[in-house]
Amino acid sequence: MGPSLRNHTAMAPLTAMEQPFLLFLSHSLTVHLTPTIRVAEALRSWGWPVFFLGPSAHRTRIVNTGVEFIPLTGEADLDDLQYYSANNPNPPAPDYWNMTWQERAVVDIKVSWLEPIPAQWEAVKAALTMLHTRDPGGQVIIVTEAIFHGILLLFYGAPLPAGIKRPKTAALSVTICSTRSWERPDRPRRQTQSSPQGSTICLTIQLCNLVYQASSTRGVTGRRTSSS
């Protein structure tokens, strides 16, 4: 079992009628999936309605957390274990394993980061449509792992399906943030945790604060319906 936030009392949870859907997005590589799944599981354990748009190869581990799984499709549905297997009948590039690591990195960026973007975006739109059908008056907050580049189309003005409002978003990175923004003019200092669980709880509490800000009454008009 992953970390639980049930005993966290820094802020009172929203009621079931107020909670937005949290839609997690993650790149298909295990190193990106694992911390993202742990954060999603922790939020689910605290009572949030959490959905995870992820690869079919990792369906079981995602479902076992209690989070509702939504499958990626097409090129976005990458099986990373097969991708990096020396026995892969369809390697990402001819003679892949005889390349230098720098050459393989270029291939990986092209094949696993860039080429899946259109399929990732289609999967995001399908997930938003499904959640809208489930609760037309509710709000969705997308929590996206930083290497899920399909979400970039939202910020470049790609149209959403008819009737779908633009969701609020929060970014989740598996590495220490080294960028500055108007919200964080100073780069955050590296904080070490005594255990992966402690690190996950710390990260999840910070994410909870972002979710609460995004779902405050200043920005949310939709609420859960009694049937959801």
Q: Distance between CA 135 and CA 26 in Å, rounded?
A: 23
Per the structure block, which two tokens stand in for 5?
A: 């936030």
User: CA-CA distances (angstroms) from residue 204 to 46, 87, 126, 207, 227?
Assistant: 11, 37, 26, 5, 28
Q: Which domains does the chain have, with CATH numbers?
A: 21-78+116-214 (3.40.50)
pLDDT digits over 44-80, tens only? 998 899 999 999 999 999 999 999 999 999 999 999 9
Task: List, in sequence order, the alpha helices (H) in the chain.
Answer: 30-45, 59-63, 80-83, 101-108, 117-134, 152-155, 196-214
pLDDT digits over 80-124, tens only? 989 989 899 999 999 999 999 999 999 999 999 999 999 999 999
